[in-house]
Homo-oligomer: A and B are copies of this chain.
Amino acid sequence: MKRSLGPSVLAAPSPVWVIGTYDSAGVPNLMTAAWAGICCSKPPAVAVSLREATYTYGNIVERKAFTVSVPSTRQARIADYLGIVSGRDVDKFGEAHLTPVKSELVDAPCVAEFPLSLECRLVQTLKIGLHTLFVGEIVDVKADESILVDGRPGLDRLDPLLFSAGEQAYYGIGARMGSAFRIGRESPRDN
């Protein structure tokens, strides 16, 4: 028997991703977002939902581009900070001691210190309610060598943050549970 919790965003977990943009004056900005996820394989694309009130929202509408960086658990305080203050009020790159890196592919800044980033060009915009969903085509993925295993990101090496909406808290990742599209072939029943 389950308990009804009412209409709410209590799915879990959500990612903790940092969205990079330039404003109209070319000043680089960052904000942390959790209402996001991969949304297409071909072309590779990511969906990021933002409130219109955010500074980043206007930047994406104007520049038609953004980056998605994945901070590691070591950068939890920075990621949290980037979701608290607004780029209208402060230079978040400067305050957080982060280094903007100009993308050669899209009109948005990457962040030198985060281990993984996606460079995205805006391809679709969908107004939902308080949040508007931006679909960005991923034109490149850039990763620190240190997180790569056979040339692809290892989740334990990336060591990303997760957001728990029910607790308004961050978690790290845990143990590897097996290979996808394989462990269910043997038995579809309880482990």
**Residues in A lying within 8 Å of B, measured CB to CB:** 1-15, 17, 34-47, 49, 68, 70, 73-85, 92, 95-97, 116-118, 123-124, 126, 128-131, 133, 135, 137-145, 148-149, 151-156, 158, 160-191
Give the number of copies in the complex: 2
Cα–Cα, bound, A34→B39 (Å) = 9
Whether B169 contacts A180 by the Cβ 8 Å rule is yes
Contacts of A49 in B (CB 8 A): 38-40, 47
Whether B141 contacts A135 by the Cβ 8 Å rule is no
A119 to chain B, nearest CB (A): 9
Whether A191 contacts B76 by the Cβ 8 Å rule is yes
Contact of A15 (CB < 8 Å), options: B13, B41, B166? B13
